[in-house]
Amino acid sequence: MIVNSFIKDQAYYIKLSNLNFLKNEKYNKVIGLELLTWVVKNTFFKFFNQSLKLDKTAEISALKNLRKEMTIAEISHLIAFIFVLFFAVYKGISQNFVFGLVVVGVNILMNLYPSLLQQKNKRRIDRLIRISVKRKQRS
C-alpha cells in the first residue's frame, strides 16, 4: 500500500488502473475465481475492506469512487504479489526449493487471486457505469 501511494500520481498509473489479465469470464471459472468470490463473501474475509461495498441505489459518482477504491486494492495486491514472488524465488533458489514453492502458492492465493477478483468486479462496475450513463442521457 505504501508503494501504491507513491506511484498513484505517476502517468502510468492510469494504465495500471485498467489492467485486465483475464478478459474472458470463462477463464475466471477455469482458475476457480468463483470459489474465491464465495470465500470472500461468506467468511471472515468480508470484514477486511468494508469500503468496497456496492449500494444498490448507487449513483454514477459513487460507482466511480468504488472503482477507484477497487483499483487501489487491486494494484496493492499486484505490488505485494511481485514483491513476495521475488522473495520466494530468492529463497527457493538459495535455501529450500519446497519452501519457495509453498510461498509462491500462498502468494497466488492471497495476492494474485484477489487482484484478479478486483479486475472482474471493476469490469462489472464499468458495465453499471455505462448503463447508468445511458439511462441518464435518456432522461
Residue 105 has pLDDT above 90, yes or no: yes
Question: In the structure, what pLDDT confidence band is assigned to residue 83 with cuts at 50, 70 and 90?
Answer: very high
pTM score, whole prediction: 0.79
Question: In the structure, what pLDDT confidence band is assigned to residue 94 with cuts at 50, 70 and 90?
Answer: very high
Residue 98 has pLDDT above 80, yes or no: yes
The answer to whether 63 touches 125, Cβ cutoff 8 Å, is yes
Among positive and negative, which fits the CA dihedral 120, 110, 8, 60?
A: positive
